[in-house]
């Protein structure tokens, strides 16, 4: 709507009115560009608000993240700093290590004892297997070897070498012919002769006990030549 505010000069005379150039009008009709301006303003406000929300949200997230990391670091660092826990852990570790060492020592000791027992049993069997064996025999009235069991002598020397504390008894015997005194002397000479033989094979003399038994303990009958030959002998004992 427009209003013409120019004076009408011809209104009094009734003549036709003439609008001069440059007449002034006010147009009060609606301005069609106003809604566009308002919408643009609202869009800018909404964008600014969204950016503000994002900035604030990002700041909150950053602060929360740093705070969580700091709490985690503090809690992680606080664990080793507890001296009581550290001492307890070290004590338990040492106790376990000590138990392992003790158990190992006991196991080794047990194995050693079992081995020693086995060796003793083996030694006893070896000694028992050598007792009353006849390594050498003699001719009538002689203290010189007439026969030698080399395999048996080797076993005897090996046993004595492996058992340096062991003693050996060497018993000399004679057959029944001739006077008893002579037979006693010959039996002692035979025991002494085998002792010398052992000493010559590096067996300490003090470990050898040589005894003449005369005509005692015959292993065969003295009535015949074959029996008397068997009785002229040396026997060993390993106590």
Q: What is the pLDDT of residue 57?
A: 77
Go through the chain and tell me how many residues it has: 239
The mean predicted confidence, pLDDT, of the chain is 77
Q: How far apart are CA 87 and CA 174, in angstroms?
A: 82
Domains of the chain: 133-237 (3.30.1330.60)
Q: What is the pLDDT of residue 60?
A: 79
Q: Looking at 12-21, 66-75, 101-110, 194-203, which range is the least confident one?
A: 12-21
- 0.85 exceeded by pTM: no
Q: What is the pLDDT of residue 79?
A: 47
pLDDT level of residue 159 (50, 70, 90 thresholds):
very high
Q: Look at residue 16 and tell me whether its pLDDT is greater than 60.
A: no
Q: What is the pLDDT of residues 199-212, one digit of tens each?
A: 999 999 999 999 99
Check residues 169 and 77 and name the one with the higher pLDDT: 169
Q: What is the pLDDT of residues 120-154, one digit of tens each?
A: 545 556 889 999 999 999 999 999 999 999 999 99
| Contact between residue 127 and residue 238 where contact means Cβ atoms under 8 Å apart | yes
Q: Residue 235 belongs to what H/E stretch?
A: strand 233-237
Q: What is the pLDDT of residue 68?
A: 59
Percentage of residues of the chain with pLDDT beyond 90: 46
Q: Which of 191, 184, 108, 83 is nearest to 143 (CA)?
A: 191
Q: Look at residue 119 and tell me whether its pLDDT is greater than 60.
A: no
Which residues, other chains included, contact 160 with Cβ-Cβ below 8 Å and sequence gap of 6+?
166, 168, 198, 203, 207
Q: What is the pLDDT of residues 207-228, one digit of tens each?
A: 999 999 999 999 999 999 999 9
Q: What is the pLDDT of residues 49-67, one digit of tens each?
A: 788 778 887 777 776 666 5
pLDDT level of residue 94 (50, 70, 90 thresholds):
low
Q: What is the pLDDT of residue 61?
A: 76
The DSSP secondary-structure symbol of 15 reads -
Number of H helices, E strands in the chain: 5, 7
């Amino acid at each position: 709507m427009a209003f013409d505010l120019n004076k009408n000069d011809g209104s009094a005379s009734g003549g036709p009115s003439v609008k001069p150039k440059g007449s002034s009008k006010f147009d009060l009709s609606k301005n069609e560009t106003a809604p566009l301006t308002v919408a643009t303003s609202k869009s800018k406000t909404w964008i600014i608000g969204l950016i503000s929300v994002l900035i604030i949200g990002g700041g909150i997230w950053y602060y929360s993240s740093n705070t969580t990391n700091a709490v985690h670091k503090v809690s992680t660092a606080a664990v080793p700093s507890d001296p009581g826990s550290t001492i307890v852990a070290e004590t338990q570790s040492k106790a376990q290590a000590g138990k392992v060492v003790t158990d190992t020592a006991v196991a080794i000791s047990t194995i050693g004892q079992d081995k020693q027992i086995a060796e003793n049993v083996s030694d006893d069997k070896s000694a028992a297997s050598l007792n009353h064996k006849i390594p050498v025999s003699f001719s009538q009235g002689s203290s010189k070897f007439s026969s030698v069991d080399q395999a048996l002598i080797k076993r005897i020397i090996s046993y004595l070498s492996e058992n340096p504390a062991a003693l050996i008894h060497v018993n000399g015997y004679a057959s029944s012919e001739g006077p008893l005194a002579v037979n006693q002397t010959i039996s002692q000479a035979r025991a002494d002769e085998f002792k010398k033989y052992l000493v010559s094979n590096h067996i300490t003399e003090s470990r050898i006990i040589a005894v003449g038994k005369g005509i005692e303990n015959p292993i065969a009958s003295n009535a015949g030549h074959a029996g008397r030959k068997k009785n002229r002998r040396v026997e060993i004992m390993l106590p």
